[in-house]
Chains A and B, each alone.
Chain A
């Protein structure tokens, strides 16, 4: 009975892994297929690879600046969210003040706000300030969800550091600021790194804000994707190449934060 169950479990899990991975493997393969192989009536699993799609789309179709925009937006949005959010998280973890939990709830609502609702007035507002179609617009927009992610995650990481450490550091003559910068932040460094990587991923993957707020110069990689699909004659090799560049770095990044992933995606409620 038990052995049969184990065999059943292994079979189901293997099927799950296969279903999870095959579509991605397919897009990876398509990015190296000739047009003939990609459009074959019968799926082609073995083929002679071609490397033309990557230079074609990134150099000749000039998609390379989009990669740069994505890096710029994700990096600066992460930096901004950390710079503002880490001190805020520390205050939530260590200090008492009126309406503290209400304010914390406010941060949660910003994290959950539906982009389609926010982006309409944001578009009007940013048009008034003349910052649409710049990376700044997207960086600010992405801080709506990243800032509260930082506050929520880092509050948990700071709370895990025993208060006795604060007291010991103060006894050693550190000022509160010195204690925060030299003792607490380094102690929370693994959590900080995980939070930063998650912010980067969320910003890199985001589509709707970027799609509405930038049309030409500031386009990120995700925004460049729909334009590649045309009703007739979509160049699937190039589409696949863009999809791979837009996703592979993120998959590798997520391996770095695997341990903290569940925690990050559940607002700190579940420790992975």
Chain B
């Protein structure tokens, strides 16, 4: 087998890192290449809607437009930040509380965890679809019960009401991703050593003190991990909102990714659209670096390398 001989040759001659080349080449082709292409396009006037704009170099015009003349972008940016802060904090509090209850009071949790996993395994598009059905104004099941308990007035549909739509979208994201926080925090709680807690009990610490002074500090790395992962994911949110509202009514739920989609694939303004796309990329890259520093590097050592090791 020639594959085997090549593989063996590489490994035996101590040039094993060459095995990384295929992955890196693929990623350069599908990711790094497009990335630099996007950066280049962001300095041009490329548009598929106007035939005279074929991609001539504009210098910093697009960036000037972004900074000075595009209040919609910055409105969308603020909306996205609010969305991220809302979903991450609600999901964290609910998810952690649920994990604590499960950890302390339930012995056979396997079935519960299986049930909780369902929302997060669903394709986000399907989640959008399911909730669109549940929230239909005239026959939606959830709308009906909300009306029954007096939380919704007769005619209003949550998804077409500019004031209610954002909290609704937040609630749907919370529905889907709170279980993720629960699973991760539960795994964290189960991995904690018992000795510190036992020592604290011996010292007569109350349950609250034990939680604040022992459990929380020990869990700090996992808390950082879960907040950052959810934060990055929420910042990129597209699928659910696209199906549920398409960014509307008006621009009430137009998150950055939806706005960027609109500029590129509705207005076909690819030059300026690339500028917006680049901004989104920058924010995620920064969050990603923070994630890596916070979670995988401690005391100047990559803990990621040991993350799998016993």
**A residues at B contact (CB < 8 Å):** 5-6, 9-10, 12-13, 16-17, 19-21, 23-24, 26-27, 30, 38-43, 80, 84-85, 87-88, 90-92, 94-95, 97, 101, 103-110, 112-118, 120-122, 124-125, 140-141, 143-144, 147-148, 151-152, 155-160, 175-178, 180-181, 201, 204-208, 212, 222, 225-226, 229, 236, 239-240, 243, 246-247, 250-251, 254-255, 258, 261-262, 265-272
By size class, the interface of chain B is 35 or more
Bound Cα distance A22, B281 (Å): 36
Is there a chain A Cβ closer than 8 Å to B34's Cβ?
yes
Is there a chain A Cβ closer than 8 Å to B123's Cβ?
yes
Nearest opposing residue in chain A for B246, CB measure: A226
Nearest opposing residue in chain A for B13, CB measure: A176
Is the beta-carbon distance between A20 and B307 smaller than 8 angstroms? Answer: no
- Give a binary string over B286-310; 1 marks a CB under 8 Å from any A CB, 0 the rest: 0110011001100000101111111
Is there a chain A Cβ closer than 8 Å to B200's Cβ?
no
Is the beta-carbon distance between B126 and A247 smaller than 8 angstroms? Answer: yes
Is there a chain A Cβ closer than 8 Å to B192's Cβ?
no
Bound Cα distance A229, B135 (Å): 14
Using Cβ atoms and an 8 Å threshold, which residues of chain B touch A239? Answer: 129, 133
With A16-B98, A120-B277, A155-B308 known to touch, is A84 a contact of B22 (CB < 8 Å)?
yes
Is there a chain A Cβ closer than 8 Å to B20's Cβ?
yes
**Known pairs A156-B309, A269-B225 / 11 extra A-B pairs, C-beta < 8 Å:** A104-B304, A110-B27, A113-B31, A113-B284, A116-B260, A120-B41, A121-B274, A157-B308, A180-B7, A205-B124, A265-B184
8 Å CB contacts to A: which residues of B7-46?
7-8, 11-12, 16-17, 19-20, 22-24, 26-27, 29-31, 33-35, 37-38, 41
Nearest opposing residue in chain A for B132, CB measure: A229
Contact of B309 among A27, A143, A159, A206 (CB under 8 A): A159
Is the beta-carbon distance between A112 and B288 smaller than 8 angstroms? Answer: yes
Number of A-B residue pairs at CB separation under 8 A: 302
- Give a binary string over B103-137; 1 marks a CB under 8 Å from any A CB, 0 the rest: 01110000011111111011111100111111000
Contact of A114 among B34, B123, B235 (CB under 8 A): B235
- Give a binary string over B239-275; 1 marks a CB under 8 Å from any A CB, 0 the rest: 1001100000000000011001100110000100110
Which of the segments B56-64, B71-79, B81-89, B138-146 contacts the partner chain? B138-146
Is the beta-carbon distance between A108 and B133 smaller than 8 angstroms? Answer: no
Is there a chain A Cβ closer than 8 Å to B236's Cβ?
yes
Is the beta-carbon distance between A143 and B20 smaller than 8 angstroms? Answer: no
With A91-B20, A116-B277, A176-B11 known to touch, is A262 a contact of B187 (CB < 8 Å)?
yes
Is the beta-carbon distance between A124 and B270 smaller than 8 angstroms? Answer: yes
Is there a chain A Cβ closer than 8 Å to B222's Cβ?
yes
With A13-B112, A208-B238, A250-B121 known to touch, is A121 a contact of B38 (CB < 8 Å)?
yes
Is the beta-carbon distance between A13 and B238 smaller than 8 angstroms? Answer: no
Is there a chain A Cβ closer than 8 Å to B167's Cβ?
no
Is the beta-carbon distance between A258 and B302 smaller than 8 angstroms? Answer: no
Q: From residue A69, how far is it (CB to closest CB) to chain B in Å?
A: 14
- Give a binary string over B198-221; 1 marks a CB under 8 Å from any A CB, 0 the rest: 000000000000000000000000
Between B31, B116, B229, the greatest number of chain A beta carbons within 10 A of the residue's beta carbon is seen for: B31
With A9-B105, A117-B277, A117-B280 known to touch, is A88 a contact of B35 (CB < 8 Å)?
no
Is the beta-carbon distance between B41 and A124 smaller than 8 angstroms? Answer: yes
With A41-B138, A147-B27 known to touch, is A23 a contact of B277 (CB < 8 Å)?
no
